[in-house]
Amino acid sequence: MSASITVVGLGSGNPDRLTIGIIKTMQRASKVYVRTLSHPVIAALNEFQVNPESFDHVYEAHDTFPEVYESIASALINLARAAEDNREIVYAVPGHPMVAEATVRLLRERCPGENVTLTVLGGESFLDEAFVRLGFDPIEGFQLLDAAELQASVLQPQLHTLIGQVYDMFTASEVKLALMELYPDDYPVIVGHALGVEGEEAIQRVPLYELDRIEGYGNLSLVYVPRSDDSQLRQRTFARLHEIVGILRSPEGCPWDREQTHESIRKNLIEETYEVLETIDEDDPEHMQEELGDLLLQIMLHSQMEEELGTFTVYDVIQALNDKLIFRHPHVFGKSSAKDAESALQNWEQMKAEEKRLKGLSPEKASVLDGIPRDLPALMKAYKLQKKASKVGFDWDNIEGVFQKIEEELGELRQAVAEGQSAEDTALELGDLLFAVSNAARFIGADPEESLSRTNRKFVSRFSYIEEQLALQGKSVEGSTLDEMEALWQAAKSGSSHSGGIHG
């Protein structure tokens, strides 16, 4: 006979709910072990001549619950193998062995490889009491979640939700914060302590914001969030956004949305991107929130069009992005390290090259300048082209070489204008000058697109000042002289060290 372990459930806390079969199993065992003595049924076991030994001491020897559970599982396997005549030992756990019991999961994984026979018997779960005492039918839709691993992304308001293992007020606080990402602060929730245990049961209905302000949390505590069909609760979920976009594109949806194609809304994606950038420049978080939503809508629409064709869905987009982020950050999700931002960027570039190799693309045959979007704004594209070329040594040694190049290109532009060259040739000389100026930005660590954007904003602000001051004088810019406008320009920039305007 091989070594064996029988796991039984002690139920939710009421000793009257113990089955005759479980009592007999414990009575005939050579030894009964319990994970913890902190359970209402333990005191009643003496009536049945069952004197268990607990693993409470293991909790004190380790810092984390996973370490505790691993230690208990290993101890049980060793005890089973060492039992005289391979006699059966029984391991009793609170509730049902297959509900929120990590040690049983570990035994199920490890016993086959350790040549230990594992038998799992039932027991009343805390769920049985929850369905009765809290008064809901799980067939309506139900989810059981662990307080220690609760995340807002798994919450579904249309389902009855039980959150178990709410051991203390700190855990309750973590649960509250996760729920508040989806539910309003005053949403009614129910806290249950020792459900079904005579003299110990307590059920409290509180608004969500008070969840961590009540006493009594312990090993037999849970939080119940009643289901709701209120559509507003789903408005904060990505699934609802996906559903809405699908409805808009459906035959019963919006005629305008149905008619759109990738090509027809292509410009919208660009426009919405620039509107987001404007809110960043203006440091306007409230407006930024709105504009980011508009940009996200464009992504959802393009993804929905492909979903209708059966090529991919927005969830494929998300998966690909998650895979890429994990793959390109081995210093975060793998075994590599990065001591600073520069090291992290090197890791990123190395993993990009590795991605190409895995996709069958040969880095040796690719151009150094590959990977820059064709339709980037010209100044931004010039900056990126120069950065890529500099990485292989095609660069000046210092910024003095760049200044000389700017002077050279400025001279050629002057010459083109003086000689009356064609508009096309003169424009090419201007392009060469702008390209050289972009290189100067790279050498001083400035983004040329951002630098020019800041100057544009400064120009608008100062010119608006000119218009306002002239209007106060009963004048307009059209009816004013250059000298008048320049004087106001200088007044607008008073106190600024930066040059600008017509005459600096």
Helix axis angle, 399-418 relative to 423-443, nearest 10°?
Answer: 160
Between CA 131 and CA 138 the distance in angstroms is: 7
Is the CATH code 3.10.20.340 the one for domain 128-234? no
Over residues 432-445, the mean pLDDT reads 92
Across 324-467, the runs of DSSP E, i.e. the strands, are none
DSSP letter string, 440-483: HHHHTT--HHHHHHHHHHHHHHHHHHHHHHHHHTT--STTS-HH
Over residues 1-6, the mean pLDDT reads 81
Q: What percent of the chain has pLDDT over 70?
A: 96
Q: Where are the domains of the chain?
A: 4-124, 128-234, 238-312, 378-446, 450-496
Is 211:176 a contact under the CB 8 Å cutoff? yes
Over residues 92-101, the mean pLDDT reads 90
Between CA 78 and CA 97 the distance in angstroms is: 20
Q: CA quadruple 369, 375, 376, 377: dihedral positive or negative? A: positive
Residue 503 has pLDDT above 50, yes or no: no
The pTM for the full model equals 0.61
Higher pLDDT, 85 or 497: 85
The fourth-level CATH superfamily of domain 238-312 is MazG-like (1.10.287.1080)
Assigned fold of 4-124: Cobalt-precorrin-4 Transmethylase; domain 1 (3.40.1010)
Q: 378-446 architecture in CATH? A: Orthogonal Bundle (1.10)
End-to-end CA distance of the chain: 97
Q: Which residues of 273-298 are buried (b: 16+ CB within 10 A; e: fewer)?
A: eebbeebeeeeeeeebeebeeebebb
* Domains 238-312 and 378-446 belong to one CATH topology: yes
Average pLDDT, the chain: 89
Is 25:107 a contact under the CB 8 Å cutoff? no
Over residues 45-57, the mean pLDDT reads 90
Helix axis angle, 448-472 relative to 378-390, nearest 10°?
Answer: 150
